[in-house]
């Protein structure tokens, strides 16, 4: 990133027909300070950036000479680091990404970030809707619309096949898999959808195609999921055992095994698998295992155990990823929520 903010301030000042003295007066600084900014000998205090942005009618990013890669990285960090985006940040990011979609060099990354931006805003509204929907159900119990509001906000499990089947998305992923048949990762998403819809005959076919490309532990994992969906639990357990025998040195295999056990409510086996995976993880370590065990302990009513797992999750996050932002704040909120249950 080229921090050419001084030249940009000078250009914006001249475009506004403003002297250094006039700009200094509006900002409450000395003319000498403005002169040092424009000459590149100093930079304005970060607290002045919003004032400069408003004064010149530009975004804060526009005060800097930032490459497209730098600006998109900043947007990505904003999506990960903020719980709620301000309307100004959202609109600025939206406008910039729409412009980048028109440029061949940035259209792919900008399209993805724009989708993630809209998903972020949707999740924000769901978080705001959830407590309101719950309160509405308390105030008007039995109202179907209130139940629907809770489920829509919190991803409830509907039984209505018309609402829950994924045939359009499955068709899309079949197309993606055909066009990029050598990328094994495409099969993961398609298999998840087929198994969720009970389309196990098709799932078996795609599992074999995936295996032909690369025989990884995913094959045994998905074969187990297929057998479980077909109500053949002994076969499912046998496939998952084979998965751990296939790649016993991989932490993610034990994490997946824990996930399979948790879905069966075999919680003690799940906890053992997750805890086996924890010390095997390379750095930077993902915290899925701590989070999963915290969920299990909470389901069991072991709130102290859940708190300890959340604290362990926080420690790994701070050691390997970051000490600030939404990723850390969300864990603190979970700890406080659990402490209130003691």
Q: What is the pLDDT of residues 285-328, one digit of tens each?
A: 999 999 999 999 999 999 999 999 999 999 999 999 999 889 99
Mean pLDDT of 271-286: 97
Please tell me the least confidently modeled range out of 11-25, 118-132, 145-159. Answer: 11-25
Distances (CA, A) of 79 to 58, 117, 282, 325, 327: 21, 7, 25, 10, 11
pLDDT band, residue 66 (cuts 50/70/90): low
| % of the chain beyond a pLDDT of 90 | 77
3: pLDDT strictly greater than 70? no
| pTM confidence score | 0.83
Instruction: Count other Cβ atoms within 10 Å, centred on residue 79.
Output: 18
Token pair, residue 9, equals 């301030």
Q: Which residues contact 98 (CB under 8 A, 6 or more apart)?
A: 110, 114
pLDDT band, residue 54 (cuts 50/70/90): confident
Q: What is the DSSP string of 78-145?
A: HHHH-SS--HHHHHHHHHHHHHHTTSTTTHHHHHHHHHHHHHHHHHHHHHHHHHHHHHHHHHSTT-HH
For the segment 176-194, what is each residue's pLDDT rounded down to a tens digit? 999 999 999 999 999 999 9
CATH number of the domain at 1-66, please?
A: 1.10.260.40
The secondary element (H helix, E strand) that includes residue 259 is helix 251-263
Residues 329/318, Cβ–Cβ less than 8 Å = no
Q: What are phi and psi of 79, to 5 degrees?
A: -65, -40
User: What three-state secondary structure class fits 2?
Assistant: strand
Residues 294/311, Cβ–Cβ less than 8 Å = no
Q: Measured in whole angstroms, how far is the alpha carbon of residue 159 from the centre of its chain?
A: 27
Q: What are phi and psi of 281, to 5 degrees?
A: -75, 135
Average pLDDT, the chain: 93
Please tell me the least confidently modeled range out of 14-18, 94-98, 107-111, 197-201. Answer: 14-18
């Amino acid at each position: 990133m080229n921090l050419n903010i001084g030249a940009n301030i000078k250009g914006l000042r001249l475009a506004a027909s403003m002297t250094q003295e006039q700009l200094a007066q509006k900002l409450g600084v000395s003319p000498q300070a403005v002169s040092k900014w424009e000459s590149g000998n100093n930079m304005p205090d970060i607290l002045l950036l919003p004032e400069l942005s408003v004064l010149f009618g530009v975004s804060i990013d526009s005060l800097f000479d930032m490459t497209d890669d730098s600006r998109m990285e900043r947007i990505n960090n904003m999506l990960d680091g903020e719980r709620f985006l301000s309307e100004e940040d959202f609109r600025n990011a939206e406008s910039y990404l729409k412009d980048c979609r028109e440029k061949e060099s940035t259209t792919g990354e900008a399209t993805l970030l724009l989708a993630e931006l809209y998903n972020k805003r949707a999740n924000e509204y769901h978080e705001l809707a959830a407590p309101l929907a719950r309160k509405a159900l308390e105030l008007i119990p039995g109202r179907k619309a209130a139940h629907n509001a809770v489920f829509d906000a919190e991803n409830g499990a509907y039984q209505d096949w018309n609402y829950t089947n994924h045939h359009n998305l499955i068709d899309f992923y079949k197309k993606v898999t055909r066009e990029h048949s050598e990328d094994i990762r495409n099969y993961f998403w398609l298999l998840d959808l087929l198994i969720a819809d009970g389309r196990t005959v098709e799932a078996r076919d795609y599992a074999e195609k995936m295996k032909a490309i690369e025989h990884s532990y995913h094959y045994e994992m998905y074969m187990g999921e297929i057998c479980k969906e077909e109500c053949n639990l002994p076969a499912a357990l046998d496939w998952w055992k084979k998965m751990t025998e296939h790649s016993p040195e991989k932490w993610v295999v034990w994490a997946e095994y824990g996930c399979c056990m948790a879905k069966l409510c075999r919680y003690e086996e799940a906890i053992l698998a997750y805890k086996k995976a924890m010390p095997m993880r390379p750095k930077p370590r993902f915290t899925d295992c701590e989070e999963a065990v915290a969920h299990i302990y909470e389901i069991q009513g072991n709130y102290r155990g859940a708190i300890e797992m959340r604290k362990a999750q926080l420690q790994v996050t701070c050691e390997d990823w970051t000490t600030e932002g939404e990723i850390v704040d969300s864990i603190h909120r979970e700890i406080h929520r659990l402490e209130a249950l003691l």
